[in-house]
Amino acid sequence: MARVFSGIQPSGELHIGNYLGAVTNWVALQEQHECFFCIVDYHAITQDYEPQELEARTFDMAVSLVAAGVDPEKCVLFVQSHVPEHTELAWVFMTVTPLGELERMTQFKDKSQRQESVLAGLLNYPVLQAADVLLYRADTVPVGEDQVQHIELMREIARKWNARYGTGFFPEPDAALSGKARRILGLDGEAKMSKSLGNTIGILEQPEEIWQRLRPAVTDPARVTKKDPGTPEVCNLYALHQLFSPSSTVEEVAQKCRSAGWGCLDCKRVLADNMSTRLAPIRERAAELRADPDRMGELLAAGADRARAVARETMREVRERMGLLPGEARAPANR
Ligand code: TYM
């Protein structure tokens, strides 16, 4: 049975890009695999954030994930900072990771360009990500396309550590991408849907909010007026219809767009309704979960206990293979 690990930052709401690009895959994988899903708060602090908001965001992310179908009975759901071995293994991996590899990561280059002074945490972000996955010796990582480069680096880190300390100890994990949803565009129709760009639709948004977000969304630029025929294939709204609307509606949308039978607003109205219908049960479940915060806390604590048991064992072996003196009062073996 493959072991699966994935993570999400609590740096904002769970949006439909995360949901379709990664989380629906988590929900499917938990049925047949041993899965670890982690809310990565130590990653979230590598960018500007408000300390007084982080706790609530972490809690909200847990609520959203469970509401979206991540089932703590079928997987291990936990918060990264509750398992200190993540940062411990990250330190170990920093000693085998070439600086040049970190500097050429596209996410690092993008994010560091937007900052006046670049902090070491941002550079080492992918090392912590490698530690997240390899701590559980997981071999499958369900993510969106933007994480593929980080997973390639993770493979290299595993190779380098194994070459020095223990052939085959860490697996070289593979990314598991979800077909059509590997890169959901934002409502600007240009950039990836992303919390930091404000071009998202949150999975817990009310029908009216979904409509207000979709209304100004960018469509086929050739459709200046309602009478101009459009090309569905170049329109991001059409891509979203493919993910949220039944296939008969998708066909109708394409036909009405090409023939200028519908204006873009008509098309958006149908999309907003279908999206709201699909997300309604998640919204309802989230409201129930939010009403019982103690229960959510217990679920996360139980998840952290299960994660820690595996993490501790990996770190014990890592320390041993690396020649670190055991903490228990024991003389070194060769004395
Ligand atoms: P994060 O928090 O940015 O996103 C969580 C997951 O959602 C996917 N995703 C998308 N997929 C398709 N289209 C989009 N527009 C879109 N936006 C986000 C991401 O690819 C991701 O799978 N570095 C990670 C968090 C992380 C992690 C890990 C992931 C930390 N440790 C270990 C896997 C394994 C991140 O920033 O994800």
Provide mean pLDDT across the span 226-241.
93
pTM for this entry: 0.96
Cα–Cα dist 255/139, whole Å: 43
Mutate to test the pocket of ligand 1, among 6, 8, 188 (most ligand atoms within 8 A of CB): 8
Cα–chain-centroid distance for residue 74?
A: 19
Cα–chain-centroid distance for residue 251?
A: 31
What is the predicted pLDDT for the residue at 223? 86
Structure tokens at 11: 């740096």
With a cut of 60, say whether residue 335 has pLDDT above it. Answer: no
With a cut of 70, say whether residue 329 has pLDDT above it. Answer: no
**Confidence bin at 331 (pLDDT 50/70/90):** low
Provide mean pLDDT across the span 19-28.
97
CA angle 45, 151, 75 (to 5 degrees): 75
204-219 pLDDT, tens digit per residue, is: 999 999 999 999 999 9
CB contact set of 45 (below 8 Å; sequence gap of 6+): 54, 121
Cα–Cα dist 101/122, whole Å: 13
Partners of 185 in beta bridges: 192
Instruction: Establish whether residue 21 lines the binding site of ligand 1, counting it when its CB lies within 6 angstroms of any ligand atom.
Output: yes
What is the predicted pLDDT for the residue at 179? 83
Instruction: Establish whether residue 10 lines the binding site of ligand 1, counting it when its CB lies within 6 angstroms of any ligand atom.
Output: no
Mutate to test the pocket of ligand 1, among 18, 61, 83 (most ligand atoms within 8 A of CB): 18
- Determine the residue type at 263: G
What is the predicted pLDDT for the residue at 66? 98
To the query of whether residue 192 is one of the catalytic residues in this protein, the response is yes
Between 107-121, 215-229, 320-334, the lowest mean confidence (pLDDT) is in: 320-334
Mutate to test the pocket of ligand 1, among 4, 35, 40 (most ligand atoms within 8 A of CB): 40
What is the predicted pLDDT for the residue at 114? 87
181-198 pLDDT, tens digit per residue, is: 999 999 999 999 998 889
Q: Of 93, 162, 159, whose CA–CA distance to 128 is shortest?
A: 93
What is the predicted pLDDT for the residue at 333? 58
Cα–Cα dist 163/158, whole Å: 8
Provide mean pLDDT across the span 327-333.
63
43-70 pLDDT, tens digit per residue, is: 999 999 999 999 999 999 999 999 999 9
CA 79–ligand 1 middle distance (angstroms): 15
One-character DSSP codes across 275-295: HHHHHHHHHHHHHHHHT-HHH
Cα–chain-centroid distance for residue 220?
A: 29
CA 155–ligand 1 middle distance (angstroms): 17
Cα–Cα dist 211/85, whole Å: 44
Instruction: Establish whether residue 41 lines the binding site of ligand 1, counting it when its CB lies within 6 angstroms of any ligand atom.
Output: no
Cα–Cα dist 330/318, whole Å: 18
The b-or-e profile of 242-280 (16+ CB within 10 A means b, else e) is: bbbbeeebbebbbebbeeeebbbeebbebbbbbbbeebe
The number of the ligand 1 atom at minimal distance from the alpha carbon of 186 is 15
CB contact set of 324 (below 8 Å; sequence gap of 6+): none
CA quadruple 153, 41, 314, 304: dihedral sign: negative
**Confidence bin at 332 (pLDDT 50/70/90):** low
CA 107–ligand 1 middle distance (angstroms): 11
To the query of whether residue 256 is one of the catalytic residues in this protein, the response is no
Cα–Cα dist 63/74, whole Å: 16
With a cut of 90, say whether residue 225 has pLDDT above it. Answer: no
Task: Please give the backbone phi and psi of residue 72, each rounded to the nearest 5 degrees, phi first.
Answer: -60, -10
269-312 pLDDT, tens digit per residue, is: 999 999 999 999 999 999 999 999 999 999 999 999 999 999 99
